[in-house]
Amino acid sequence: MLAASLLSRLIGRALPRAQVAHERLPNLQALPILSSDALSSVAYATEASLGVLILAGSSALKQSLPITLAIIALIVIVVLSYRQAISAYPNGGGSYVVARENLGRNVSLVAAAALLIDYTLTAAVSLMAGTQALSSLLPSLLPHELALSLLLLALVGWANLRGLREAGRVFAIPTYVFVVMILLLTLVGVSNLNLHHGWTPEPPPLEAALQPLGLFLILRAFSSGCSAMTGIEAISTGVQVFREPAARNARVTLLVMGGLLASMLLAVTGLGFMYGVAPDPQVTVLAQIGVRVFGSGSLLFWLLQLSTLLILVLAANTAFAGFPLLAAMLAEDRCLPPQMRWLGDRLVYQNGIGVLLAVSALIIWICQGDTTVAVNLYALGVFTAFTLSQLGLVLHWWRLRGSGWQGRMALNALGAFSTFVVLLVIIVSKFTEGAWTVVIALPLVVWGLALIRKRSREVQALLAPDQGMEPLYLEPNASPCHQAIVWLGGLNQPSFEAVRYACSIADQVTAVMVVVDQDEAGQLSQEWDRLAGSQTGALELKLLESPFSSLLQPFCDFVVDQEQLHPEQCTTVVMPFVIPRDHLDQTLLNQRAFNLFRALSDGKSRVFSMVRYYIPTAGTPGDFVRAAWADVVVEPDHA
């Protein structure tokens, strides 16, 4: 109880499910939550491109402008494509959904794996980059970069566990401050060019050429600059975050985000070209531009640097918004354990947030807070997802053939071809710089998702109700003295075995299931009548609604109410408990028996029966191996 109280204080009070609509965000708050990753890339995308071009000498830096224009054209194509994805899939039009509906479930796992990897790298790299920005201002923090990265990760995770509205408030101000500072940088810079500097570009510092300026080097610079496009998909994946009309608001916000990203990227690259800025390992390109425009040590320069620091840290929030939603979709399709789709007390997918925290912390620890290796992997996953999404939309419009389908299909075909070419360029140009790890990790994640899906289907089939079983029946007793309350996690064979056992020991049996909505309650009642037989009296099904995310508390409250209502009767709480056959089954089976036991054991003597059910061996349908015995545990009174 003490741990639960501390957790409640840490992440806030529980919110009723009815309030989920109120937890959705207006566009002004959703924009920073879902766009901080994409907008923050302005701080390093130009520098990444210049860092490759400088290998061909100072004269090659002028290629940054055409490369940036090509990246902006690609941004336009991708943004327009995902606007169409939102229209086609208003409940969430991310790459996984589009690929699943149009390219098949197996191909969709590739898109899902690519996005899971990209979200994880986004969180880790953004936080490490933010820490490095901080240590650049305060060199005394250099030995503590790893600890600072992990601390920032914990703070971002805590803000998201607090819920959507709190996260929107936390992340809105720094994101908008960064956008305003880039706008001021552009306006003051253009004014300076017009009034003082003139429109003749300064020559950059002389650097000797280490490589010839060929097509391959230009493509490498282009692929490095494409890191500006990470995070674009987050809005189409997180449509559920927006207030109604969610799809329309998401489309508008995506267009605004695309416009801001393209404008800011062009402004930074253009100012860097005009002022002859070259990459410097000690000072970032954006900082060099800020010194030239605002002056070293000026208030505006410090605001620019601090806002850059904050948005690099907050860019990780895009991953915390997208990863849990994608994981919940995969869990719904049985490709991940069902726990990933549980809503927490704050109406967020807290298990997904927890997994992302753990994996991101592992990456940060392996990299020791240094982005050198991880940043080379940034765009590989997202361009894989881009390509599959747009290819799926091509097939979608071809099958639909509604109004204007030719133009829509042509746009998505162009996007699929463009992003596929960029994907090949990234793989080839970055392979020896660390991209090989993602090339290996991607099929491994796909294999893992497919394995979970296969085993989950097998387990569900093995736990399905035996169609040949006799209907459950309990002879009514005029003066019942023993009641049994059975927890039902679902209408499956373990649950029916628990009910059958309860009927053998009690005069009155109530099977209780906690449901989320009324539609589910109606379907469950019909299925119960079909499988168990419709009867009234001593055996009944009780469906309880849960106003909060917890499915345990309504059951506990029901048990207490029944004990108070019938104090003269002995009450036994019966719980089915599935015995897994391997470690994977332990993650797939939704076992709440132990949690219920702990919740109902606190402060009162009760009788518990756990009916154990062993998963049958695959390949022998109908030959169920059951343990129809129960462990009866009597707890002493704690009072």
Identify whether 448 is part of a domain: no
Average pLDDT over residues 435-445: 82
Instruction: Report pLDDT digits (tens) over 533-578.
Output: 655 557 888 888 776 656 677 888 888 888 888 888 888 888 888 8
Does 397 share its domain with 497?
no
Identify whether 277 is part of a domain: yes
Identify whether 68 is part of a domain: yes
At which of 396, 411, 431 does a domain end? 431
Does 396 share its domain with 494?
no
Per DSSP, the three-state class of 481 is: coil
Identify whether 9 is part of a domain: no
- pLDDT of 258: 92
pLDDT over 70 (residue 624): no
Does 390 share its domain with 535?
no
Per DSSP, the three-state class of 621 is: coil
What's the structural domain count of the chain? 2
Instruction: Report pLDDT digits (tens) over 600-609.
Output: 777 677 788 8
- pLDDT of 67: 92
pLDDT band of 473, cuts 50, 70, 90: low
Does 502 share its domain with 401?
no
Identify whether 467 is part of a domain: no
DSSP-derived letter for residue 439 is H
pLDDT over 70 (residue 347): no
Does 415 share its domain with 487?
no
Q: What are phi and psi of 195, to 5 degrees?
A: -100, -30
- pLDDT of 93: 63
Instruction: Report pLDDT digits (tens) over 209-222.
Output: 777 778 888 888 88
pLDDT over 60 (residue 19): no
What are residue 242's DSSP bridge partners? 25
Q: Within a 10 A sphere around the Cβ of 205, how many other Cβ atoms?
A: 12
H-helix or E-strand spanning residue 174: helix 164-192
Tokens 């919110």, located at residue: 15
- Rounded to 10 degrees, the C-alpha dihedral 167/173/176/180 comes to -170
Identify whether 1 is part of a domain: no
Average pLDDT over residues 417-429: 83
Identify whether 5 is part of a domain: no
Model pTM score: 0.70
- pLDDT of 136: 64
- pLDDT of 343: 67
Does 104 share its domain with 208?
yes
Residue among 322, 319, 330 at smallest CA distance from 360 = 319
Does 398 share its domain with 495?
no
CATH of the domain at 522: 3.40.50
d(C-alpha 512, C-alpha 125), whole Å: 47
At which of 372, 404, 431 does a domain end? 431
- pLDDT of 213: 79
Token pair in block for residue 454: 């296969």
Domain residues for 395? 19-431
Share of the chain above pLDDT 70, in %: 80
Identify whether 306 is part of a domain: yes
pLDDT band of 620, cuts 50, 70, 90: very low
For 272, half-sphere exposure in the C-beta direction (CA atoms, 13 angstrom radius) is: 33
Does 82 share its domain with 145?
yes
Does 61 share its domain with 171?
yes
Does 426 share its domain with 508?
no
d(C-alpha 507, C-alpha 485), whole Å: 11
- pLDDT of 542: 85
CATH of the domain at 271: 1.20.1740.10
Helix axes 164-192, 246-274, angle to 10 degrees: 30
pLDDT over 80 (residue 475): no
Does 371 share its domain with 512?
no
Instruction: Report pLDDT digits (tens) over 317-331.
Output: 778 877 888 888 888
At which of 397, 415, 431 does a domain end? 431
